[in-house]
């Protein structure tokens, strides 16, 4: 018989993360959004859970547990249901550490992975998105030009999570000397925050999540040694790296969608108009049922993409489908949540307006998390 559910161990992890999200993230989410600042001590508090270090090899100080993209997708969903912005900030180092663990050389693993196995939060981030009206990862404007002993990088990045406190960035760029185009032309480089020619911009202002610090990067002829090219001479499997981030993005929007649904349904049952609960009104009932259908569809698409990654298969198609569905229907679910609450959907007394802003932002971004 085919099983489509999580294992017993995964259920334990999921339940623990759901409790953490409900008791730690959700209660501080509104205040953090209003202050446009991460709660003091939150990153270290999440770090103590070992969500990064336990999945890194023992040889580098980690827990040595097998990395499970499916389990990580479950974790992202639960944390995003608490608050997507705080979830992204808390797990941002994974988007740097996991690619190194997956595709780094032995030297790169030895030099960088121990940083993520200590007791204190380690800041690092993936720099993928660029400031263009229509971002296309297969047409990056950030370029890497090979030279005798390394590469020279030039370009701009946006929405770099925790860039204000990251010690290193994993920057994706297009190798201008690549004989092939598309995925084959993509490279990733490890760049310290104090690299010559690298300028870390101030905190960006956007619709939301407002507590999530993101910055811009400007790379002006940044010289990067060959030893800092992820994967060394072999380079990277860019398909896997991008499928990983897209699956993570789908999991985040899944968690946000579930939060909206679980808030809107009780509200619609309790709110009465013209002598009956608004949940009994056909227009509202259709919105609520659509939330359920689309969030379940997104869950299966996300789990399928994560399963392909876990089993070493090419998850490009599956991750694109999950991400595309998440971007479209996650936004629709958030919008319907606002509509169900009517006038209350637009005021800060209820969290759905905050979730709507988050959905609008997350639905157009890539590279914010990793599984």
User: Where in the chain are all domains bearing CATH 1.10.540.10?
Assistant: 8-122
DSSP state of 222: E
Length of the chain: 371
**Residue 178 phi, psi (nearest 5):** -65, 135
**Residue 24 phi, psi (nearest 5):** -110, -50
Residue 347 to residue 356: CA distance in whole angstroms: 12
Residue 68 to residue 84: CA distance in whole angstroms: 21
Q: 176 with 232: CB under 8 angstroms?
A: no
Is residue 261 helix, strand or coil? Answer: helix
The tokens for 219 are 């790379």
Residue 79 to residue 253: CA distance in whole angstroms: 11
Spans of the chain below 50 pLDDT: none
DSSP state of 163: T
pTM for the structure as a whole: 0.95
215 bridge partner residues: 160, 203
DSSP state of 39: P
In 3-state terms the chain splits into helix, strand, coil percentages (rounded to 5) of: 55, 15, 30
Tell whether domain 8-122 is in CATH 1.10.10.10. no
Longest dimension (CA), the chain: 78
The tokens for 130 are 């660029």
- The label of the residue with tokens 């619609």 reads 268
User: Where in the chain are all domains bearing CATH 1.20.140.10?
Assistant: 238-362
Alpha helical stretches, state H, the chain? 8-20, 26-35, 42-47, 69-82, 84-91, 94-103, 106-112, 238-270, 282-310, 316-341, 352-362
Report the CATH architecture of 125-234. Beta Barrel (2.40)
The tokens for 265 are 């349904």
- Give the pLDDT score at 1: 57
**Which is it for strands 214-225 and 168-175: parallel, antiparallel or unpaired?**
unpaired
pLDDT digits (tens, 9 = 90+) for 224-268: 999 999 999 999 999 999 999 999 999 999 999 999 999 999 999
- Give the pLDDT score at 207: 86
**Residue 76 phi, psi (nearest 5):** -60, -40
238-362 — its CATH code?
Answer: 1.20.140.10
- Give the burial class of 164: count Cβ atoms within 10 A of its Cβ; 0-12 exposed, 13-18 middle, 19 or more buried: middle
pLDDT digits (tens, 9 = 90+) for 52-77: 999 999 999 999 999 999 999 999 99
Helix (H) or strand (E) holding 83: none
- Give the burial class of 206: count Cβ atoms within 10 A of its Cβ; 0-12 exposed, 13-18 middle, 19 or more buried: middle
């Amino acid at each position: 018989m085919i099983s489509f559910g999580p294992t017993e161990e995964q259920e334990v992890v999921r339940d623990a993360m759901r409790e953490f999200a409900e008791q730690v993230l959700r209660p501080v989410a509104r205040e953090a959004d209003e202050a446009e600042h991460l709660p003091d001590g939150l990153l270290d508090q999440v770090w103590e859970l070992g969500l990064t270090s336990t999945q890194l090899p023992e040889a580098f100080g980690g827990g040595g547990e097998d990395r499970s993209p499916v389990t990580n997708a479950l974790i992202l969903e639960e944390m995003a249901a608490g608050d997507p912005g705080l979830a992204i900030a808390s797990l941002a180092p994974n988007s740097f550490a996991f690619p190194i663990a997956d595709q780094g050389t032995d030297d790169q693993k030895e030099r960088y992975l121990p940083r993520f196995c200590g007791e204190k939060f380690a800041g690092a981030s993936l720099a993928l998105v660029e400031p263009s009206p229509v971002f296309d990862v297969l047409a990056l404007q950030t370029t890497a030009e090979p030279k005798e002993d390394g590469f020279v990088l030039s370009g701009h990045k946006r929405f770099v999570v925790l860039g204000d406190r990251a010690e290193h960035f994993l920057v994706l760029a297009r190798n201008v000397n690549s004989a092939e185009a598309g995925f084959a032309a993509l490279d990733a480089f490890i760049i310290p925050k104090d690299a010559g020619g690298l300028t870390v911009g101030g905190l960006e202002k956007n619709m939301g999540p407002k507590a999530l610090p993101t910055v811009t990067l400007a790379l002006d002829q940044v010289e990067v040694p060959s030893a800092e090219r992820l994967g060394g001479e072999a380079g990277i499997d860019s398909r896997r790296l991008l499928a990983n981030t897209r699956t993570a993005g789908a999991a985040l929007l899944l968690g946000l969608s579930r939060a909206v649904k679980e808030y809107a349904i009780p509200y619609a049952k309790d709110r009465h108009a013209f002598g009956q609960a608004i949940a009994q009104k056909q227009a509202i009932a259709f919105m609520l049922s659509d939330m359920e259908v689309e969030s379940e569809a997104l869950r299966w698409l996300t789990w399928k993409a994560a399963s392909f990654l876990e089993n070493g298969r090419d998850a490009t198609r599956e991750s694109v489908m999950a991400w595309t569905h998440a971007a479209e229907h996650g936004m629709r679910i958030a919008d319907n949540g606002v509509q169900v609450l009517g006038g209350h959907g637009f005021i800060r007394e209820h969290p759905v307006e905050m979730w709507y802003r988050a959905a609008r932002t997350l639905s157009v971004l890539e590279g914010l998390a990793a599984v």
